[in-house]
């Protein structure tokens, strides 16, 4: 399909817009309520997306061939469940539904977190599917859950891609959509710039804690752990029998780790003032396997639940909450431009000038190349 019209609901900074435009689409309507995202959308596409979709009458939306939307995921009411899974009122999916009902676009393409299928014990997903089928759309038989790293982009971001083709356009009972072969090799270094502003460097404190953990990792390589290392358990002997099983296991292993390496750990703690670390930085998780030797070889996340070191084949999913990964080798964070590459935004895309906004918007967005990969198949059913 070429020269088609599309609408971009929950548009954000226009991940869908980019994908559809590059396939020959023209955007005739976009909607969002986030002030900063609306500005970025305007700067890039010249379209004013300032519409709260719950307040837009479907008849005021121009006719279109494709409806796109990464709608926020909400549970449906108990009342709805009792009425036979059809009541979606009060949710944003309801707005998607009434627009589809009015316009009957040829194609629909929705995107969401993969958890959608498990949400509310599977009820949410059941309701959505049933509604789309009742509206006259052919869907895939199985859910399509896919991630950009499967097409060679170094980000692990499993998401559900929901595609629907209007019944009169296909003879198929179910859409035939293939997933990528999945064996694409990726590396985080593919999206990184050589020189970036110093403001992305890790702080002195971050350098200090990571240097300490690096020394720990090099000296205690005990089968690369397999459990999170908790400084708070070193040398402790209080009763932990009331803890849940998994926690008892971790406590036991940490206490043993300490006993087995007491001399080193005691002097390590003293040397690096480990007791003064923030509580979350006293927890360390090695998720990079045996082939990575040092902290500085990995991609690092400073999480509320502790420091996590991962392999550098791909980054974990960018998320809207700010937890920008650190590239160990360069002792710096990913820049917004590099984050944009993880979502396959073009180099001339105008990002929000405030980094924190840009990270959030990119974390909310989607991978453009993956949308194209699936949309092309949907248009060929
Ligand atoms: C997960 S993000 C989708 C991002 C988008 N796919 C992109 O590529 O950037 C969901 C968006 O829905 C927007 N949103 C939430 N409630 C809305 C409403 N009532 N009307 C329009 N947009 C809304 C949020 O502001 C957010 O930008």
Q: Is the CB of 34 under 6 A from ligand 1?
A: yes
- The reported pTM is 0.91
Per-residue pLDDT, 51: 95
Read off the pLDDT of each residue in 297-317 and give the average, rounded to a whole number. Answer: 93
Confidence at 77, pLDDT banded by 50, 70, 90 = low
As its CATH architecture, domain 4-185+367-378 has 3-Layer(aba) Sandwich (3.40)
Side-chain-side CA neighbours of residue 182 (13 Å): 6
The candidate with the shortest Cα–Cα distance to 344, out of 155, 182, 188, 66, is 155
pLDDT, tens digit, for every residue of 152-188? 999 999 999 999 999 999 999 999 999 998 777 899 9
- The token pair that represents 353 in the structure block: 């000038």
| Ligand 1 atom closest to Cα of residue 361 | 9
Per-residue pLDDT, 338: 96
Counting ligand 1 atoms within 8 A of each CB, the residue from 72, 73, 351 with the most, and so the one to mutate, is: 72
Q: Decide: residue 138, CB within 10 A, 0-12 exposed, 13-18 middle, 19+ buried.
A: buried
pLDDT, tens digit, for every residue of 319-360? 765 678 899 999 999 999 999 999 999 999 999 999 999 999
- The token pair that represents 100 in the structure block: 């589809």
Confidence at 149, pLDDT banded by 50, 70, 90 = very high
Tell me phi and psi for residue 53, to 5 degrees: -60, -25
Counting ligand 1 atoms within 8 A of each CB, the residue from 6, 12, 56, 366 with the most, and so the one to mutate, is: 12
The rounded mean pLDDT for the chain is 92
pLDDT, tens digit, for every residue of 221-279? 776 778 999 999 999 999 999 999 999 999 999 999 999 999 999 999 999 999 999 99
Residue 70 CA to ligand 1 center (angstroms) comes to: 7
Side-chain-side CA neighbours of residue 36 (13 Å): 13
Q: Is the CB of 33 under 6 A from ligand 1?
A: yes
For the chain, the first-to-last Cα distance in angstroms comes to 11
Residue 10 CA to ligand 1 center (angstroms) comes to: 3
Classify strands 155-156 and 283-287 as parallel, antiparallel or unpaired. unpaired
Residues of the chain with CATH 3.40.50.150: 4-185+367-378
Contact yes or no for 234/256 (Cβ under 8 A): no
Angle at 69 between CA 314 and CA 86, to 5 degrees: 120
Contact yes or no for 19/375 (Cβ under 8 A): yes
Whether 151 shows a pLDDT value over 90: the answer reads yes
Per-residue pLDDT, 257: 95
Task: Cite the active site residues.
Answer: 73
- The token pair that represents 109 in the structure block: 């393409």
The candidate with the shortest Cα–Cα distance to 100, out of 141, 140, 76, 71, is 71
Tell me phi and psi for residue 200, to 5 degrees: -90, -5
Side-chain-side CA neighbours of residue 141 (13 Å): 5
- Report the DSSP beta bridge partners of residue 229: 284
Q: Decide: residue 181, CB within 10 A, 0-12 exposed, 13-18 middle, 19+ buried.
A: exposed
pLDDT, tens digit, for every residue of 350-369? 999 999 999 999 999 999 99
Residue 29 CA to ligand 1 center (angstroms) comes to: 14
Residue 25 CA to ligand 1 center (angstroms) comes to: 20
């Amino acid at each position: 399909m070429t020269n088609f019209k599309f609408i971009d609901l929950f548009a954000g900074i226009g991940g869908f817009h980019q994908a559809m435009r590059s396939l020959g689409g023209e955007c005739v309507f976009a909607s969002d309520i986030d002030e900063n995202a609306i500005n970025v959308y305007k700067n890039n596409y010249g379209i004013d997306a300032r519409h709260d979709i719950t307040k837009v009458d479907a008849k005021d939306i121009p006719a279109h061939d494709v409806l796109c939307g990464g709608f926020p995921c909400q549970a449906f009411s108990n009342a709805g469940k009792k009425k036979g899974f059809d009541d979606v009122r009060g949710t944003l999916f309801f707005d998607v539904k009434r627009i589809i009902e009015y316009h009957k676009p040829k194609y629909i393409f929705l995107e969401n977190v993969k958890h959608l299928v498990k949400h509310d014990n599977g009820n949410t997903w059941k309701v959505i599917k049933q509604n789309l089928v009742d509206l006259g759309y052919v869907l895939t038989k199985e859910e399509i859950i896919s991630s950009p790293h499967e097409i060679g982009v170094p980000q692990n971001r499993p998401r559900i891609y929901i595609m629907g083709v209007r019944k009169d356009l296909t003879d198929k009972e179910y859409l035939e959509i293939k997933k990528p072969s999945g064996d694409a090799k990726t590396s985080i270094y593919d999206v990184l710039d050589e020189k970036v502003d110093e403001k992305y460097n890790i702080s002195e404190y971050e350098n200090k804690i990571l240097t300490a953990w690096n020394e720990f990792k090099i000296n205690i390589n005990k089968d690369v752990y397999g459990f999170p290392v908790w400084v708070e358990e070193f040398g402790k002997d209080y009763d932990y029998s009331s803890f849940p099983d998994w926690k008892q296991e971790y406590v036991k292993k940490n206490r043993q780790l300490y006993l087995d390496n007491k001399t080193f750990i005691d002097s390590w703690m003293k040397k690096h003032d480990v007791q003064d670390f923030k509580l979350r930085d006293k927890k360390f998780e090695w998720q990079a396997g045996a082939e990575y030797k040092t902290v500085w070889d990995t991609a690092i996340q400073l999480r509320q639940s502790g420091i996590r070191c991962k392999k550098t084949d791909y980054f974990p999913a960018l998320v809207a909450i700010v937890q920008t990964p650190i590239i160990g080798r360069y002792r710096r964070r990913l820049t917004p431009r590099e984050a944009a590459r993880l979502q396959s935004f073009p180099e001339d895309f105008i990002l929000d000038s405030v980094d924190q906004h840009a990270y959030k918007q990119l974390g909310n967005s989607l991978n453009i190349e993956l949308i194209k990969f699936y949309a092309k198949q949907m248009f060929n059913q």
